[in-house]
Structure 1
Amino acid sequence: MNKKQLFGKRFKAIRKKFGYTQDKMAEIAGIEPQSISKIESGKNFPLLSNLDKIAIKLGIELEDFFYYDHKVCEDDLKADLIRVFDSLDQTDKEKLLRIAKIFRV
């Protein structure tokens, strides 16, 4: 599944969670209903301004559209963890290590 498809799946899940039709989402964003269909099918990304209008109307954060329920490959996960770890100061690195050890089996 590519990024547009992942986004479309998440967008559709949010729309359905709030009980809106594609027509209603289009009305909120001020776009054509066909545009919502293209977003949900993974053909297009929405404009950020339209996505922001929808988030405000739904009372959610813009970031909520980007939380995907998909598996991340282990190499990407390690790279992300290293980037986060490297950005921390020594004290926070030690705290993170203590927390990580709690989850170790």
Structure 2
Amino acid sequence: MDITKDFGIRLQEIRKAKGLTQAQLAEMVDLEITTISRIENGSRFPQKENIEKFVEALDCNIKDLFDFDYIKNKDELRAYIDKKLDEASLNDLQFYIRVIDAHLETRK
């Protein structure tokens, strides 16, 4: 478990579910866009005071930012899938498409 990466993924999920861009969140918490990007891509963990700013700006509980296993709604699930697909190789993406197509065929 890599808490820095998991936190970044979770922050991105919540931000996207709230319909915010990185620029909008950066402005709300008084951070640079590059800082938000680094946090979301898992290369930087936020300081305590910035975690508190995220809670306020995103109107969520602190536990929501550390709830790495529970996906609450369709938008968060899509954000999680987008993040995973961005990290996948071409071969993995081709495999995922075959799996999805096969699954959809069984539902007909």
* TM-score interval, smaller chain: 0.5 to 0.7
Distance 1:39 1:57 in 2: 16
TM-score by length of 1: 0.61
Answering whether residue 33 of structure 2 is matched by residue 33 of structure 1, we say yes
Query: How far apart are residue 9 of structure 1 and its match?
Result: 0.6
Q: Which has the higher contact order (CA 8 A, sep 6+)?
A: 2
Q: List structure 1 runs of 4+ shifted beyond 3 angstroms.
A: none
Specify the code of the residue in structure 2 equivalent to 1:20: L
Residues 51-102 of structure 1 deviation map (CA, whole Å, 9 limit, x = unaligned):
21221122211121000128xxxxxxxxxxxxxxxxxxxxxxxxxxxxxxxx
CA RMSD of aligned residues (A): 1.5
- Secondary structure of the 2:31 match is coil
- Aligned counterpart, 2:2: 2
TM-score by length of 2: 0.60
Identity, % of aligned pairs?
37
Instruction: Work out whether residues 25 and 57 of structure 2, in 8 Å CA contact, stay in contact via their aligned partners in 1.
Output: no
Question: 5+ residue gaps in structure 2?
Answer: 71-108
- Aligned counterpart, 2:89: none
Aligned residues: 70
Structure number with greater Rg is 1
